[in-house]
Structure 1
């Protein structure tokens, strides 16, 4: 089965694009959503988190102590690298499990991941899509959605590769700035993947 990775910076609208693909009957694996779930469900990951960052990584109720982890990794690249080294393999395991549940008649699947290129998971896909939007528009979307400041959003963006860095790595591109129909762009790629013309 054809595996298509899809990514984009914060506020690019990659989730919206995925929803359009879903209306066409295409199964989508949301890596970032899955990561939140496996942080408490994947026993290998939980054990690794506690060994690496301490028992206080989790609350007494067994929930991830997000403020504690964020405080450790936000300004410490070494700690962030350690976190990613634990989480990314767990997400890969979750993806493999999810794949086993996908109907065999699905023409292809999408794997949505903010860190598709950074994590190296694009190598496990047959093709990749990059969703882009201008910085100003992304900032407007995220500050309005998350009720956060531009400075906070820019700090999060700084942890990811830029669109300019991702563009040469992507096979396909969707522009989400309102200048072109998002639906028509998705339909064109959908037909391309059905026909396997690439």
Structure 2
């Protein structure tokens, strides 16, 4: 099974383009969404995160996201500890999901493929890019976030230039109709490469 990674900085429009590929019949796996679900569902993860962050990590068996975010923001080493707990579980969940798929290829969306040096897990990688001002505005509109907060998240992600160098395909997503055309072209190219 061919696994295509889809990545891009915050606000680049990854989710919108995933829907595009989904409409072409490509099975989609969103790593972040599955991680959040597992953090709420798995008692093992829950125990380990409480060990790291303390009892306030969960409230009524639900992950206390704002609390974790504030802790990680203050101490980057906690992010690495949390990832060491969550990522292996997501990886094994993905493997069992993959076995059930029957399409020529699947897309696994993960925001920090390059930052975590995971590019070798993918046959091809698509990076979604957009102008910085547009990305910031999208996130402010979506999350009611502040410009400063969005910029601080961007600082922890690789630049678009660095991601582009490491990618097989790039979708420029300043204009949705144009981006959809690029996605369709890439879809056809991937199918050709798989069948070559």
TM bin, normalised by shorter chain, reads: over 0.9
1:174-185 equivalences in 2 (<5 Å): 174-178=171-175, 181-185=178-182
Aligned residues: 195
Q: Distance in 1 between matches of 2:117 and 2:44?
A: 20
Quote how far apart the aligned CAs of 1:164 are: 1.9
Runs of 4+ more than 3 Å apart: none
| 1:178–1:62 CA distance, 2 compared to 1 (3 A) | same
Structure 1 residue runs of 5 or longer lacking an equivalent are: none
Structure 2 residue runs of 5 or longer lacking an equivalent are: none
Quote how far apart the aligned CAs of 1:122 are: 2.6
Quote how far apart the aligned CAs of 1:165 are: 2.1
Q: Distance in 1 between matches of 2:188 and 2:123?
A: 16
**What is residue 143 of structure 1 aligned with on the other side?**
140
**What is residue 83 of structure 2 aligned with on the other side?**
84
Q: Any conservation in 2 of the 1:4–1:109 contact (CA below 8 Å)?
A: yes
Q: Distance in 2 between matches of 1:156 and 1:70?
A: 11
Cα deviations across residues 41-91 of structure 1 (Å, max 9, x unaligned)?
Answer: 2333222212222233112x2111112211211121111221222222122
| 1:179–1:146 CA distance, 2 compared to 1 (3 A) | closer
1:99-138 equivalences in 2 (<5 Å): 99-102=98-101, 104=102, 106-138=103-135
Quote how far apart the aligned CAs of 1:179 are: 8.9
Q: Distance in 1 between matches of 2:8 and 2:89?
A: 21
**What is residue 26 of structure 1 aligned with on the other side?**
26
**What is residue 10 of structure 1 aligned with on the other side?**
10
Q: Distance in 2 between matches of 1:116 and 1:46?
A: 24
Query: What is the RMSD of the two structures over their aligned residues, measured on CA atoms?
Result: 1.8
TM-score normalized by the length of structure 1: 0.91
Q: Distance in 2 between matches of 1:40 and 1:179?
A: 33
Q: Distance in 1 between matches of 2:188 and 2:63?
A: 41
**What is residue 74 of structure 1 aligned with on the other side?**
73
TM-score normalized by the length of structure 2: 0.92
**What is residue 92 of structure 2 aligned with on the other side?**
93
